[in-house]
């Protein structure tokens, strides 16, 4: 099991405010990991730090190469796809254009066309709406589109920021099933940040709990899920 | 004593700087040459127009590149009332303000459908149209057509030993202070907050029950009204109104004044107005043939150094002031 | 009735002038989601460069191509030097920057080439086009080149990857970076293209309005209005808008009594504003559905 991503002593700042105080963790290739915590704990900041979207110090290594403070577009091209909070869909463009944009940094045209077909296979509703403006899709559909767009990169690592946000439970279940499938079949390493801890713990193998910018607990998903005191103090259920 | 020393200092910095500025504004004309007093009066007048723009763009988030039109309407209203109705010049100002308020309020209605760059275009169209409208033959009897109107400059009342320029300066200063205080109160009031809510997120504001249409049109009306008063004062001080004095170049100058002062920051209006009045002359002084280029370079330098305008400088000074006060306090402890 | 159609035709001819400029406006708007006040001046300056090259003996089409290439590079250079530093500044500050650029370019052009009016050659000749009194071969050529540019831009934005990337970078820069697009260079590229298009527009317009530093003032405004009328994101809209504005302007001048030359511009603008009030995103603009 090779380590794909290591994060060491990561500190992140929004202006004068420090949001992360020395976060450290590692992701094995092919694994599914979840980062849990309450609102404002630093989950989103961690993902943004990995992608070079906030001011950081510390060390981040992807596939053995240091990537801290590199420009976002370079980090993405190394194979990290980030599905941001709020989905970041290009609302004025069609569904298909959004998918094409996911692959814009690739040059293998034939493979890109194949991948678009594959995405329609995973998410049939996108095929139906392929020429529609992405902004007219429902929340769940936009989330599917965001995940599909990230997959178009053929990423080695996919970061998802609260993919269940604002979605109906059945839709979320379907989405997480697809994420599991993608992890197994396409060998994509996944780091998913969630407030909906229960579902995330079912999908993931490993879990980290973050509180006010620090990792306070780590363990297998099963352990964390079965530990009552952890659930009550950190996960709220 | 209540409050942290920092918050006491913050209060004191703004009161200190306001007091110093006010003292300077009151004292300078007593020593300065008449022409400089005239320029300073124009700074106050343009300051009012920039203030109006700050209320509209900064507070309610509506773009206007057309304020020269309201300025012109105010100027001509005053001019016509003085020359044809024999009205006292001071009384023409509220009339000019009211006329422009109505004009601005009415313009606010179609403006509701436009935003951002579209509103900028619409207001710019207004600015471009105004000089042409003022030249139209049908109104020539009143407007004086292309040549405009000459306006008699009033003397200081009660035989006071003040030159016309100095007297008009103090009148303008008094009016400016009153309007400034009213504007500050407006922005701190519920209405002001409603406007700012609309600026920040119109959909959310309306979902909260704020009558967006009312506040936006009111903002336009108030902004136009203040600009109209400024225009009226301008006409009296310059003694002259003519269509080509109110072209879109004035609208652009006012816009630049707002940016240089700091968008939405009322005290910056004065700094912005000073920029409008003095920097073009400065540029011409540096190079007659390239005065436009020099002006452009000055403008670039300013926006590179302080992209948020004079407000940035004020915040810097305030931080220094607070540092100074706290070290002083530390020594005493 | 014949007067009417003649006026329409004449309007289309003048409209071609505005259409070219409108294309440059749409180009820059697509790249930076903003309107560059100095674009007209940049087009004017490019045209002067072409004029100078021709004065020095260069054949017309060589001067044309070289000017377009230089303009492309200059557009990128100006963006990198003057506007990249302002990328994090507020939008209104950037607008002030455009105004400053306007003042500088206008002033420098006036100094180098003075304000006397100069004729500019046309490669299309000035004979009546197909025998028509109102349309010359130059104006026909102008319309042709404008449609060629339109076709180029249409293909560029709709069918090329770089065009798609540019649209994405302008619409949602953060998401664009997350798919690996270098948004900063997309902006520079947009500037380069807009300046090149402006240069072509300027060189087509100059034979009609004659070359002098203030030649683009009214044209830019009409060009902007045309782009807005057409829907700021649509090159086709820009051209149609330009032609319509030309026709409007002509109709106003012909049919509205008392509308002398001075009132044509404000009335045309007023008509455009009326259209906007009813269709805020312009004729061909895509209505963006905003879900809160």
Which residue of B61, B65, B115, B121 is the best one to mutate when testing the C interface, meaning the one whose CB has the most C CBs within 10 A?
A: B121
- Residue C88 touches chain A, beta carbons under 8 Å: no
Residue-number span of the structural domain to which C160 is assigned: 2-127+156-278
Residues of B whose CB is below 8 A from C262: 132, 135
pLDDT at B10: 52
Over residues B279-316, the pLDDT tens digits come to: 999 998 888 888 899 999 999 999 999 999 999 999 88
Helices (H) and strands (E) in chain A, counts: 10, 10
Over residues B15-36, the pLDDT tens digits come to: 888 888 888 888 888 888 888 9
Q: What is the mean pLDDT of residues B199-220?
A: 85
Q: How many domains does chain C have?
A: 1
**Is the pLDDT assigned to residue C60 strictly greater than 70?**
yes
Match 């336009």 to its residue by tokens: B220
Match 């981040």 to its residue by tokens: A60
Tell me if C149 sits within 8 A of C197, measured CB to CB: yes
Tell how far CA B187 is from the center of its chain: 15
Tell me if A192 sits within 8 A of A200, measured CB to CB: yes
**Report for A5-19, B97-111, B232-246, C70-84: range of highest mean pLDDT:** C70-84
Over residues B60-85, the pLDDT tens digits come to: 888 888 899 999 999 999 999 988 88
pLDDT band at C260 (very low <50, low <70, confident <90, very high): low
Q: Say if strands A3-14 and B149-150 run parallel, antiparallel, or are unpaired.
A: unpaired
Quick one: tokens of B125? Answer: 């169209």
pLDDT at C291: 47
Q: Say if strands A32-36 and A206-211 run parallel, antiparallel, or are unpaired.
A: parallel
DSSP structure class, residue A94: B
Residue C144 lies in a domain: no
Whole-angstrom distance, CA of residue C23 vs CA of residue C243: 12
pLDDT band at B333 (very low <50, low <70, confident <90, very high): very low
- The sign one gets for the Cα dihedral C279, C282, C286, C289 is negative
Helix (H) or strand (E) holding A218, with range, is: strand A214-220
Residue in B closest to C228 by C-alpha: B118
User: Pick from A53, A102, A136: which is nearest to C179 by CB?
Assistant: A102
- Measure A135 CA to nearest chain C CA, in Å: 6
pLDDT at B199: 85
Nearest CA-CA partner of B46 in B217, B306, B226: B226
Share of chain A above pLDDT 90, in %: 65
Over residues B220-266, the pLDDT tens digits come to: 999 999 999 999 999 999 998 998 889 888 999 999 999 999 998 88
Indicate the average pLDDT of chain A.
Answer: 90
Whole-angstrom distance, CA of residue C226 vs CA of residue C236: 11
pLDDT at C77: 97
pLDDT band at C292 (very low <50, low <70, confident <90, very high): very low
pLDDT at C78: 96
- pTM score: 0.86
Q: What is the mean pLDDT of residues C156-176?
A: 91
Q: ipTM score here?
A: 0.91
Nearest CA-CA partner of C60 in C204, C208, C197: C204
CB atoms within 10 A of CB B80: 21
Residues A77, C180: C-beta atoms closer than 8 Å: yes
Over residues A119-173, the pLDDT tens digits come to: 999 999 999 999 999 999 998 899 999 999 999 999 999 999 999 888 888 888 8
The mean-pLDDT minimum among A118-122, B51-55, B195-199 falls in B195-199
Q: Where are the alpha helices (DSSP H) in chain B?
A: 5-31, 34-53, 67-84, 89-111, 116-135, 140-143, 164-188, 190-200, 202-207, 212-238, 248-261, 268-286, 291-305, 310-332
Torsion from C-alpha of C85, C86, C89, C92, nearest 10 degrees: 170
- The sign one gets for the Cα dihedral A56, A59, A60, A64 is positive
Tell me if B96 sits within 8 A of B78, measured CB to CB: yes
Q: What is the mean pLDDT of residues C16-34?
A: 88
**Is the pLDDT assigned to residue B8 strictly greater than 70?**
no
Which domains are seen in chain B, by residue range?
Answer: 3-332 (1.10.3470)
pLDDT at B112: 83
Residues A90, C172: C-beta atoms closer than 8 Å: yes
Quick one: tokens of A117? Answer: 């077909």
The domain that holds C269 is classified in CATH as 1.10.3470
Which residue of C29, C157, C172, C180 is the best one to mutate when testing the A interface, meaning the one whose CB has the most A CBs within 10 A?
A: C180
**Is the pLDDT assigned to residue C83 strictly greater than 50?**
yes
Whole-angstrom distance, CA of residue C57 vs CA of residue C46: 17
Residue C68 lies in a domain: yes
Indicate the average pLDDT of chain C.
Answer: 87
Quick one: tokens of B255? Answer: 């816009």
Nearest CA-CA partner of A77 in A116, A59, A104: A104
pLDDT at C131: 67
- Order across the sheet with A80-83: list the strands: A80-83, A157-161, A189-194, A32-36, A206-211, A214-220
The mean-pLDDT minimum among A110-119, A220-229, C173-182 falls in A220-229
Indicate the average pLDDT of chain B.
Answer: 86
pLDDT at B2: 45
């Amino acid at each position: 099991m090779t380590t794909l991503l290591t994060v060491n002593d990561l500190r992140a700042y929004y202006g004068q405010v420090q949001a992360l105080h020395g976060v450290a963790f590692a992701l094995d290739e092919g694994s599914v990991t979840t980062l849990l915590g309450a609102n404002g704990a630093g989950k989103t900041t961690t993902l943004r730090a990995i992608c070079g979207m906030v001011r950081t110090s510390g060390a981040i290594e992807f596939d053995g190469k240091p990537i801290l403070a590199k420009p976002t577009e370079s980090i993405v091209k190394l194979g990290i796809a980030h599905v941001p909070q709020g989905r970041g869909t290009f609302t004025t463009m069609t569904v298909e254009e959004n998918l094409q944009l996911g692959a814009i940094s690739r040059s293998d045209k034939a493979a890109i066309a194949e991948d678009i077909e594959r995405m329609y296979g995973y998410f049939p509703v996108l095929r139906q709406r392929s020429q529609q403006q992405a902004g007219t899709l429902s929340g769940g559909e936009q989330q599917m589109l965001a995940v599909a767009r990230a997959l178009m990169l053929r990423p080695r690592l996919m970061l998802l920021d609260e993919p269940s946000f604002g979605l109906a439970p059945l839709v979320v279940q379907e989405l997480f099933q697809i994420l599991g499938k993608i992890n197994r079949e396409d060998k994509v390493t996944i780091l998913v940040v969630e407030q909906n801890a229960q579902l995330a713990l079912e999908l993931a193998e490993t879990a980290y709990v973050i509180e006010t910018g620090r990792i306070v607990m780590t363990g297998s998903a099963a352990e964390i899920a079965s530990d009552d005191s952890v659930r009550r103090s950190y996960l709220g259920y | 004593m209540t409050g942290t020393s920092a918050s006491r200092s913050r209060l004191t910095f703004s009161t200190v700087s306001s007091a110093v500025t006010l003292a300077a504004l009151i004292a300078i004309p007593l020593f300065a040459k008449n022409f400089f007093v005239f320029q300073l009066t124009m700074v106050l007048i343009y300051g009012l127009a920039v203030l109006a723009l700050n209320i509209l763009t900064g507070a309610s988030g509506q773009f206007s590149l057309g304020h020269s039109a309201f300025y012109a309407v105010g100027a001509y209203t005053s001019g016509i009332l003085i020359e044809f109705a024999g009205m006292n010049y001071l009384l023409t100002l509220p009339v000019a303000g009211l006329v422009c308020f109505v004009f601005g309020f009415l313009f606010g209605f179609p403006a509701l459908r436009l935003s951002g760059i579209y509103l900028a275009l619409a207001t710019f169209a207004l600015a471009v149209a105004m000089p042409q409208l003022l030249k139209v033959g049908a109104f020539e009897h009143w407007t004086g057509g292309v040549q405009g109107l000459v306006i008699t400059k009033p003397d200081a009342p009660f035989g006071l030993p003040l030159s016309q320029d100095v007297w008009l300066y103090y009148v303008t200063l008094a009016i400016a202070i009153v309007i400034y205080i009213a504007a500050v109160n407006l922005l701190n009031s519920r209405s002001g907050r409603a406007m700012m809510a609309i600026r920040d997120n119109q959909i959310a504001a309306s979902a909260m029950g704020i009558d967006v249409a009312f506040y936006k049109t009111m903002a336009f009306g108030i902004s136009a009204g203040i600009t109209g008063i400024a225009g009226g004062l301008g006409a009296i001080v310059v003694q002259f109104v003519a269509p080509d004095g109110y072209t879109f170049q004035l609208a652009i100058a006012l816009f630049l004044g707002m940016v240089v002062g700091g968008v939405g920051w009322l005290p910056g209006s004065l700094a912005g107005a000073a920029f409008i009045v003095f920097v073009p002359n400065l540029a011409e002084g540096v190079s007659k043939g390239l005065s436009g280029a020099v002006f452009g370079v000055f403008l670039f330098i300013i926006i590179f150094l302080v992209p948020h305008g004079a407000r940035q400088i004020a915040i810097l000074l305030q931080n220094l002031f607070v540092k100074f006060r706290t070290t002083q306090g530390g020594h005493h402890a | 009735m014949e007067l009417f159609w003649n006026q329409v035709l004449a309007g289309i001819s003048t409209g071609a002038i505005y259409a070219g400029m409108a294309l440059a406006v749409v180009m820059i708007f697509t790249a930076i989601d903003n309107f560059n006040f100095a674009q007209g001046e940049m087009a004017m300056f490019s045209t002067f460069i072409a004029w100078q090259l021709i004065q020095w003996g260069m054949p017309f089409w060589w001067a044309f191509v070289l000017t377009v290439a230089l303009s492309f590079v200059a557009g990128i250079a100006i963006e990198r030097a003057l506007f990249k530093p302002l990328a994090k500044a507020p939008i209104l500050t950037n607008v002030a920057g455009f105004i400053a650029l306007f003042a500088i370019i206008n002033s420098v052009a006036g100094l180098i080439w003075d304000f006397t009016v100069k004729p500019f050659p046309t490669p299309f000749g000035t004979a009546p086009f197909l025998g028509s009194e109102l349309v010359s071969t130059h104006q026909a050529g102008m319309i042709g080149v404008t449609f060629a540019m339109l076709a180029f831009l249409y293909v560029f934005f709709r069918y090329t990857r770089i065009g798609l990337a540019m649209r994405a970078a302008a619409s949602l820069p953060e998401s664009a970076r997350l798919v690996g697009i270098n948004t900063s260079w997309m902006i520079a590229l947009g500037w380069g293209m807009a300046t090149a298009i402006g240069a072509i527009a300027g060189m087509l317009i100059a034979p009609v309005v004659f070359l002098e530093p203030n030649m683009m003032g009214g044209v830019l405004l009409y060009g902007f209005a045309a782009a807005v009328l057409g829907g700021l994101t649509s090159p086709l809209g820009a051209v149609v808008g330009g032609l319509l504005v030309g026709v409007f302007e002509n109709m106003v001048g012909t049919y509205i009594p008392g509308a002398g030359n001075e009132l044509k511009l404000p009335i045309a603008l007023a008509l455009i504003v009326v259209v906007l009030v009813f269709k805020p995103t312009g004729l061909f603009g895509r209505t963006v559905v905003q879900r809160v």
